[in-house]
Each structure stands twice: as C-alpha cells, then as structure tokens.
Amino acid sequence: MRLPSLKVKAFVGLGQLLLVMGLTVFGAAGTIRWPHAWILLGTFFGSSLAITLHLMKNDPELLERRVQAGPAAEKRKSQKIVQLMASLAFLATIAVPGLDRRFGWSHEPLWLAGLGEALVAVGFLLVFIVFRTNRFSSAVIEVAAEQKVIDTGPYAWVRHPMYAGALVLLAGIPLSLGSYWGLLSLAPMAAAIVWRLLDEERFLSKELPGYEAYRRRTRFRLVPGVW
C-alpha cells in the first residue's frame, strides 16, 4: 500500500473509531454533558493519533499491518469469531458506563476516575513500547516474510505484552467513566483475548521457527509471576 493511501486509511479508521465510540458512550448516557466521557475520548484519540503519526514517519510497514484489522481481515473462521466477540466486548466497556451514568448506578470518587485515565494512558504506552520492540506485531494472526522471534524488551517478561497492555487500557476505561458496573464488561474481553492468544501460540509454534523454544523459555503469557 502506498503511503498516501495508507495515511488516508489510517486517518479514516481513527475517525470511524472515534465516531463509533462517541455515539456509543453518549447514546447510552443520553447526554453529551459528561466531562468524564470527553476526557476519555480525548485521551484515547490523542494517544491513538500520536502512535499513528509515529508509525507513519518511522515504520509505515508496521502501520500497514495494524490498519488491516477486525473480523473481516482474519483468514480463519475461529479468529473472525474472536475478533467479533472482542469488538462487541470493547463497545460494552463504554456502553455499560454510559448506562451507569444515565441511571446513576455507581458513585465513584473523582480520584478513581483519575486513576482510570492513568491506566488508559499507561496501556497505550505499553502498546507503543511493543511497537518499538516488535515491528511484526500485526493486527491479524500471521507470519510475515523475514519475521523472527522477539525476546527482548517486554517480550523478555511475558509472551504477549500487547495483550497485557490492552487489558490495562481496557480496565481503565470504565473507571475513567466513573462506573464500577462497567468493569463487568472486562470478563468477555479477557475471555476473547485469552482465546486469541492461545490460538496464536499454537499457530506460531507451527509456523514461526524458534517460537516453541521461546515459549518454553519465557514462562508467563500476560502477567509476570501469575500466568
């Protein structure tokens, strides 16, 4: 994909994501007068844009791998299902807090919302570090030409630092929106991530030379010392 076309696709994708998130969270809340939601969207979009601009300048090939995403981009039926499940679970992380805001289920202190925003930012930082470490971190499960096993940086600690960062980010979303009930939406998202990474490990063990040895050498998948 040529760089101008890649830029257009990346910016259109970001715009569509922001639009869907905005419609979901404000639609569920029944109001746009919600500072927590505006701050979250600003943090989310600002972080996404910063990473996108960095990849455009420094690694357009990785950006191309990242924009080819979602259920339609996956080649196997099982992963299409996982991606669909993950997409719906992601929307739930902002829809449930929106409903919480509408009906007043939670009464979260302001400092906890601040902690949620911090988790979102830290999650994006972890994802950025993964991108800097592994330029083959595609949005779909595949093995690219000349791809090799990465075992440095965050990959020295866990086998799937991208998913670990995503879980930190996702845990911060409901908290940043002032919703305890929104945390329940993390269960289906975590299930989708675990399903995906286990399938990914089976695939890489067969298709990526050296991955099986790396898997035995690096014990933990997501959380050091836990799993």
Residue 77 lies in a domain: yes
Residue 224 lies in a domain: no
Are the C-beta atoms of residues 159 and 204 closer than 8 Å to each other? no
Residue 37 lies in a domain: yes
Q: Tell which wins on pLDDT, 5 or 104.
A: 104
Residue 60 lies in a domain: yes
Which pTM was predicted?
0.91
Q: How many domains does the chain have?
A: 1
Q: What is the DSSP string of 127-152?
A: HHHHHHH-TT--SSS---TT-----S
Question: Tens digit of pLDDT for each residue in 192-219?
Answer: 999 999 999 999 999 999 999 999 999 9
pLDDT at residue 31 above 90?
yes
- Domain containing 56 — which CATH number? 1.20.120.1630
Q: Collect all residues with Cβ–Cβ distance below 8 Å to 126 and sequence separation of at least 6.
A: 154, 161, 164, 165, 168, 169
Closest to 47 (Cα-Cα) out of 72, 27, 21, 68: 21
Residue 162 lies in a domain: yes
Residue 225 lies in a domain: no
Quote the DSSP letter at residue 158.
-
pLDDT at residue 1 above 70?
no
Its sign, for the CA torsion 89, 227, 179, 35, is negative
Residue 74 lies in a domain: yes
Question: Tens digit of pLDDT for each residue in 163-184?
Answer: 999 999 999 999 999 999 999 9
Range of the domain at 13: 3-217
pLDDT at residue 53 above 90?
yes
Q: What is the CA radius of gyration of the chain?
A: 18
Residue 141 lies in a domain: yes
